Structure 1
Amino acid sequence: MARRKKGREVHGWLVVDKPAGITSTSVVNKVRWALNAQKAGHAGTLDPEATGVLAVALGEATKTVPYITDALKSYRFSVRLGQSTNTDDAEGEVLSESDSRPTDAEIEAALPQFVGDIMQVPPKFSAVKIDGERAYKLARADEAFEIASRPLFVDELTLIERVDADHVILEMVCGKGGYVRAIARDLGEVLGCFGHVQWLRRNWSGPWDAEDGITVDTIDKLAKTEALDAYIRPVEEGLSDLEEVRCTPEGAVRLKNGNPGMVYPADGVEYGDEVWASFEGKPLAVGRYMGGELHPSRVFNL
């Protein structure tokens, strides 16, 4: 006999405005505890000192995490010019220093090198796996290793403000897998002055803005109450980049069992498109639209 899972069946998203000084995993654990939820996970890690949007998926919403992970995200961050650190942020040990300081024009001229489809080497203090071991564990042990470069799509990289000779504020919109710390490091190298991230905030991720997120303090205050449930967003918000189709009653029955099911025609949906299907106002499945049917890849039990 299967063991019964602890907690409530809670389905949806809790969008958190993460503060500095706490890990993403700690936020997820706090949300799970506060809502007494059976299952929770997040869509995109933030470094402990970073702030901003951390979207926590609950229950069946965890099936939509890949779509938020793949969505564009926006970061605003400060780069400290003139210093490199072993962590590529302000928490690390200073490795190199330079008295050289680029002009605003030189910074703006360098930014296009980091826009479009680029290759990026993640920081050594990161969760990238090297032969099965996390890179940050190897770095902490002072072991010598190399991290292979990986592709990243950067939609925008803009100079927002030159605070002073040593600090600039940039804003980046990018796809999944991007390391802002690596952008600061590599920009400093290109400019010949070194650089690292001083602070970092994720402004938005997919459909959600940081300003719309709940604070950790509010989660603590409303923990274990119905008032916290009011902040839970629908599962389908994680599917905002996909078109919606609606199931026929017969199609809904088939889709619930994991089989292809009939859906009504929808404007803008073509053969082979990945879409999500709803029935009676609830998300039912994600899959490929083929000749009036949805061939499911994920089915929701709501």
Structure 2
Amino acid sequence: MARRRKGRDISGWLVVDKPAGLTSNAVVNKVRWALDAKKAGHAGTLDPEATGTLAVALGEATKTVPFVTDALKAYDFTVTLGAATNTDDAEGEVIATSDLRPSDDEIKEALHAFVGDISQVPPQFSAVKIDGERAYKRARDGEEMEIAARPLFVESLLLLDRPDADHIRLEMVCGKGGYVRSIARDLGRALGCLGHVHHLRRTWSGPFEAAKGISFAQIEEMARTPELEQFLLPLELGLADLPEVRATAEGAARLRHGNPGMVIAQGLDYGEDCWASFEGQPVAVGSYRGGELHPSRVFNL
């Protein structure tokens, strides 16, 4: 018999402003414990030394994680010019250096090549799988791997500041699967000066913003108290990029059992993804087909 998972059935989102030095999973585990939640997950990993938006989904909100993961997200990061590292960030060993320092205009011109639909090779120290094993595990053993390039959509990449000759501050808005460390590495190569990430912060991810998030210290201070629950955001925020339709009473009953149900909608195309609510509660998400929602996920609230 499978062991029953302990904890409360609590659903919603807790947006954490992740500090440096913690893994994303460590933050999720702390949130799960602090709220005594039965189920929790996050909508997009941040490197341990990165800070900023980590949206933690609880309970039924975990079913909306893919929609947040697919949404655009923004990063504010600093690149150190003149040195490449084996991890493409400041935590790694320097493997090459350069005395060349490009001008601001040269940097702005080079950024154009990284906007739009681009191909990107993940860092050697990354969580991508190579023959079933995480790349970072092989990299730690000194192995150099051929990692296939992956598509990435970059909406914008801007030069925000140049505090000194060796550092530039950039802002990138991109889609799913982007490695900021790869952008820093490839930009440094394109400029001929080499480069790696010095500091990285995710300022927002889909509908969630670091500026409105709760700190890790606050989570520890308010753990296992009602005060922490006041920071919970509704499940449906994870569906912010999808249109909402209204289920009829009969439709809601059918949807809750995983069957197509009648909904009231305007301006939707056949086959368009959307989510249905009934009496202010999310019921299901799925595909709109001529007056009915065909559910792919059902919310048990």
Name the TM-score class by shorter chain: over 0.9
Unaligned runs of 5+ in 2: none
| Superposed displacement of residue 144, structure 1 | 2.9
Alignment-derived partner of residue 259 in structure 1: 259
Q: For 2:182 and 2:2, how far apart are their aligned partners in 1?
A: 46
2:12 match? 12
CA deviation after TM superposition for structure 1 residue 25, in Å: 0.5
Aligned-pair CA distance for 1:5: 2.5
For the residues of structure 2 that align with 1:249 and 1:282, how far apart are their CA atoms?
12
Are 1:291 and 2:290 matched, yes or no?
yes
The residue aligned with 1:87 is 87
TM superposition outliers: structure 1 runs of 4+ over 2 Å: 1-5
Find out whether 1:50 has 2:50 as its counterpart. Answer: yes
After TM superposition, give the deviation of residue 35 of structure 1 in Å.
0.4
Q: In structure 2, give the amino acid aligned to 1:90.
A: A
Aligned counterpart, 2:268: 269
Alignment of 1:96-115 (within 5 A): 96-115=96-115
Tell me by how many angstroms 1:219 deviates. 0.2
Contact in 1 for aligned 2:73/2:204 (Cα 8 Å): yes
Q: TM-score, normalised to structure 2's length?
A: 0.99
Q: 2:206 corresponds to which residue?
A: 206
Give the structure 1 partner of residue 131 of structure 2.
Answer: 131
Question: Comparing 62-71 with 268-277, which one deviates more in the overlay?
Answer: 268-277
Alignment of 1:23-34 (within 5 A): 23-34=23-34
Which AA in structure 1 matches 2:171? Answer: E
- Secondary structure, in 3 states, of the residue corresponding to 1:89? coil
Is the 2:124–2:144 contact (alpha carbons within 8 Å) kept by the matching residues of 1?
A: no
What does the per-residue CA deviation read over 1:158-184, in whole Å, with 9 as the maximum and x for residues that have no partner? 000011100000000000000000000
* Residue type at the aligned position of 1:198: H
Instruction: Indicate the residue corresponding to 2:154 in structure 1.
Output: 154
User: For the residues of structure 1 that align with 2:144 and 2:2, how far apart are their CA atoms?
Assistant: 46
Secondary structure, aligned partner of 1:263:
strand
In 2, Cα distance between the equivalents of 1:123 and 1:10? 37
Q: Which residue pairs with 2:281 in the alignment?
A: 282
* Deviation (angstroms), 1:197: 0.3
What is the rounded CA distance, in whole Å, between the counterparts of 2:191 and 2:163 in structure 1?
Answer: 17
CA–CA separation in structure 2 for the residues paired with 1:196 and 1:144: 18
The offset of 1:3, in angstroms, is 4.4
3-state DSSP of counterpart to 2:96: strand
Letter in 1 for 2:25: T
SS of equivalent residue, structure 1 residue 28: helix
Identity level (%): 70
Residue type at the aligned position of 2:190: V
* Offset, 1:132: 0.5
Instruction: Show the counterpart of 2:141.
Output: 141
Shift, 1:105, TM fit: 0.3
**Residue 185 of structure 2: aligned partner:** 185
Rounded Cα–Cα distance in structure 2 between residues aligned with 1:32 and 1:51: 20
One-letter code aligned to 1:269: L
Q: Distance in 2 between matches of 1:3 and 1:292?
A: 41
Deviations 1:53-108, CA, capped at 9 Å, x for gaps: 00001000000000000000000000000000000000000000000000000000
Q: Calculate the TM-score normalised by the size of structure 1.
A: 0.98
RMSD of aligned residue pairs (Cα, Å): 0.8
After superposition, what is the alpha-carbon deviation per residue over 1:227-256, rounded to whole angstroms, capped at 9, x for unaligned?
A: 101111100000000000010001011101
Is the deviation greater in 142-151 or in 78-87? 142-151
Deviation at residue 272 of structure 1 after TM alignment:
1.2
